[in-house]
Every structure is written in structure tokens, then in C-alpha cells.
Amino acid sequence: MKMLKDRFPYHSQSTLLSIFSLEYQKRTKRTISRHHVPDVMERYYQRYLSETKVRPTVPVLLELANEVDLSPALMARIILERFLKDMDGGMPSKTVLNSMLKEPSMIPDQILANHIYQCTINDCCYGPLVDCIKHAVGQEHEVLLRDKLMERNLSFLDENQLRTMGYDKTPDIILEVPVAVEGHIIHWIESKASFGDDHSHRTYLNEQFWSYWNSGVRGNDASPTMLPRIKKEDGKIERKTASCRLRCCVQAQCLDEMVKRQLLVSSSHQSLAGGIPEPESPLL
């Protein structure tokens, strides 16, 4: 981070960390498979056992993760899973594994527990600590988004209100009266407290935003069309349909600043919402 801060002194540390985390996770997805080969995992585990016998007070697991260019938290998961398999004679459940990663004091081996803890607190991109931080930051920026909307006297419904009304898939904010932002009519806002490049925008579009359309959260150039679930006499749930075309998907970027780079296609729009280019021919 110090290198990035020195190179980009006018950008906040949170922005630089968000960009670094995104790029690091993309690289990890490309390389993680080679670390999950059985022979490789066994070699890591035997290396850990031999190193801890010789240097019990040295963070050998953290050093090993850095040596093989793997996230410390992911390395900790591999070693802990192998340890539990050795102890119980079978593959541990994800529930047990995740519980021990979150609370290393539950690990029977105190030395391993210390190494797991060191890996967790020294990983800025993966692990239970990072997950907690991301969740807290996400909640903070959702509150910030609601505050900004209220400051501008914009009428809206948040996710909790929409769920009580029966909507199962909803964005963070539905604007009851649409607003225009740089030529786009904005009907709803999804808050993402993270850096958004072309790849992440397309991923969110395919995995999340289109589901809002399919679940009944829609908008056209004139006004948003909210399609509540209708319960029929036989108890089945159906939705009313409407032939309108999605004009604009919105992703709110709540970072302090955005570093300009070639990968960035969608820039933030004013202080609330970022527009995602409309697909060439959405079949809706």
C-alpha cells in the first residue's frame, strides 16, 4: 500500500485498497486451482509441520503463503482443512472449518491456532476479518446513500421497506419519483462500496441487476413500473408482466475517488449513481 500511496498521493487509501483488492482477487481466481492440487496441498502441509518443529515461534505459515504467492487466509484454510482431516479421519464440514477460521481458539492445536490467527490478521483481501470489514463498510455506505437522498428531498423506498411489501429481489433504493442524471433516467440505485471496472460491472449486471428486472423491479423512460407478487387462489405466486425495456441499470459507487484507468468504462455519475451502458440487444 505504501508503494501505491507514493505513486498516487492524491487518492485516498480506501480507494487504492479497493482497487488493489479487486485486481488481487481477479488474479487469485486465475491461479487458485494450482494450489488445490492434492500433491501440492500435501506438500504445503508437510512443509508447515517440518518448519514449525524447527522454528515454532516464527510465522512459518505466513512466510509460506508469501513464498508461493497465495493469500495468507486461503493458505490457512488449506492447512487447517488438512489438519482436521488428519485428526478426524475425514473431510471437515464447511461449518466447522469456517467457525475455526473465525475463532482460532477453537482449534485443538495451539501452535496451529496462532499461525491461523497470524494469517487472518495479515490478509487484506481474504478471510473472516476482511469479510466483516466489507460488511461494515457496505452498511455504512448504504446509510450514507440514504442520508444523501434525504438531503436532496428525494422520495424513495429502501430494501427493508421493499421486502416487507413482498419483493424478494430488490436493489438498495427504489426512487418513487425518477431523477435524471447526465441524460439517464434513474429509477433505482444499488450501492456498491467498492471499485467498479468493466469486468465487475458486467458481473453485477449478469448476476444481480437482471434479476431485479425478472423479479418485477422495472423502469422505462416515463416512470418506474413496480410489479408486486400476486397470490392466486391455488397459493402459487405469479407476477404481472409488462412490455417495457430496461433503459438504464444503476450501480452507486460510494468510494471517495475513482482512479482513472483503461479498464474503467463506467465512471461515477454525480454523487449518487453510476450508469452502466445498455446491452446491445436485451431480450426482455
Domains in the chain: boundaries: 37-126, 135-276
Contact 248, 185 (CB under 8 A): yes
pLDDT of the residue at 268: 32
Contact 226, 217 (CB under 8 A): yes
Backbone angles phi, psi at 157, to 5 degrees: -120, 135
Q: What is d(CA 133, CA 22) in angstroms, rounded to the nearest whole number?
A: 15
DSSP per position, 43-106: HHHHHHHHHHHH-TTS-HHHHHHHHTT--HHHHHHHHHHHHHHHHHSSPPPHHHHHHHHH-GGG
What sign has the CA pseudo-torsion 123, 102, 115, 67?
negative
Task: Tell me the one-letter amino acid at 80.
Answer: L
pLDDT tens string, the chain, 284 residues long: the values are 778 888 888 888 888 888 888 899 999 999 999 999 999 999 999 999 999 999 988 999 999 999 999 999 999 999 999 999 988 888 889 999 999 999 999 999 999 999 999 999 999 899 999 999 999 988 999 999 999 999 999 999 988 888 888 877 788 999 999 999 888 888 888 888 888 888 888 888 888 888 777 665 554 333 333 333 333 344 433 333 222 222 233 333 332 233 333 223 333 333 334 333 333 333 32
Residue 275, SS3 per DSSP:
strand
Q: What is d(CA 130, CA 120) in angstroms, rounded to the nearest whole number?
A: 8
pLDDT of the residue at 275: 37
pLDDT of the residue at 245: 27
Residue 232, SS3 per DSSP:
coil
pLDDT of the residue at 6: 84
Contact 20, 123 (CB under 8 A): no
pTM given for the model: 0.69
Q: What is d(CA 253, CA 224) in angstroms, rounded to the nearest whole number?
A: 22
pLDDT of the residue at 88: 82
Q: What is d(CA 251, CA 189) in angstroms, rounded to the nearest whole number?
A: 6
Q: In the structure grid, which three cell numbers stand for residue 69, read together? A: 504467492
Contact 76, 120 (CB under 8 A): yes
Partnered with residue 251 across adjacent β-strands are 190, 274
DSSP per position, 164-224: HTT-SS--SEEEEEEEEETTEEEEEEEEE-S---HHHHHHHIIIIIHHHHHTTEEE-SS-E
